[in-house]
Amino acid sequence: MDRDIRRLQNIKEASVASGDTKGVISHAPSNQSMKEGEQVFAQEGNKPLALYKKSKGTLWKVGLSNDGNQHFDKNIHVNKDINYDGYLRNIRYPAFKAYISTVGDAQSIATDTRVNVKFDSEEYDLGGNYDISAYKFTAPIAGIYHFNAKVLWDNDKGSAGGDWDAGDRHDIYLIKNDSSTNPAANAREASELRVVVADIDDNFMMDSISGDLKLDAGDFITVAVYQNTGDTQYTYDVNDAMWSSWSGHLITAI
């Protein structure tokens, strides 16, 4: 049986290298350290056991498993579909949700002024890429990212809502690479606006925006708003993360 196995592996018994008494070396071999046709088992620290073989001048490696889990040091290239029965766990994919806390509520927005919104608290932040002091998300890797943001307006700084006149305008923006209090117009990467068509008494106003952005590693995004009512207005959040918040996540790295 051993002879058949060696024949199937196309090796000679002498070509299997051993290190300690278990036949496993404690470091990865190099191409220069192995002879043509030689095989060796190696296990580095807590990494899985691996089989190395030198064939036609190239060192090949196969990871071995004792529990069904496979571990890879680099990329996996798949020509067709990946089918799985369990859950997809993208542990390192960045994703966050930030909101206006009770302390940060009622941020004043002067008329005819573009202002970055102070989303000063996190509901979650996978990867730690959101900055609660600068109110910005920084892309850790080049890719396509999806963002959602919403802001509840109130023009009397209280829970009773506000009054709005026909023609009052409220804008919301996704701002790229400009964390100043009043970002420049050309920093807008996406925008949505809402215009009041008739007088409204004692009510709130909501702005929201959703979009996909292509970012390079190190690019950062903030949320800004604008209003032209002629009076100072305020962001508002009666319940944390429910009314004024924004979130984002990586769709795909590029």
Maximum average pLDDT range among 74-78, 81-85, 186-190, 229-233? 186-190
DSSP label at 66? S
Q: Name which of 254, 182, 153, 169 is nearest 212 in CA terms.
A: 254
Which pLDDT score, from 0 to 100, does residue 13 have?
Answer: 43
Q: Which CATH number fits the domain 95-253, given the four candidates 2.20.25.90, 3.90.380.10, 2.40.170.20, 2.60.120.40?
A: 2.60.120.40
What residue segments make up the domains of the chain, in order of their start? Answer: 2-63, 95-253
Q: What is the pLDDT of residues 30-66, one digit of tens each?
A: 999 899 999 999 988 888 899 999 999 999 999 888 8
Q: How sure is the predictor about 21, in pLDDT bands with cuts at 50, 70 and 90?
A: very low
Q: Is 186 helix (H, G, I), strand (E, B) or coil?
A: helix
Q: What is the pLDDT of residues 90-123, one digit of tens each?
A: 888 999 999 998 777 788 999 999 999 999 999 9
Q: What is the pLDDT of residues 130-142, one digit of tens each?
A: 999 999 999 999 9
Strands 205-215 and 143-154: antiparallel
Q: Is 156 helix (H, G, I), strand (E, B) or coil?
A: coil
Q: What is the pTM of this model?
A: 0.79
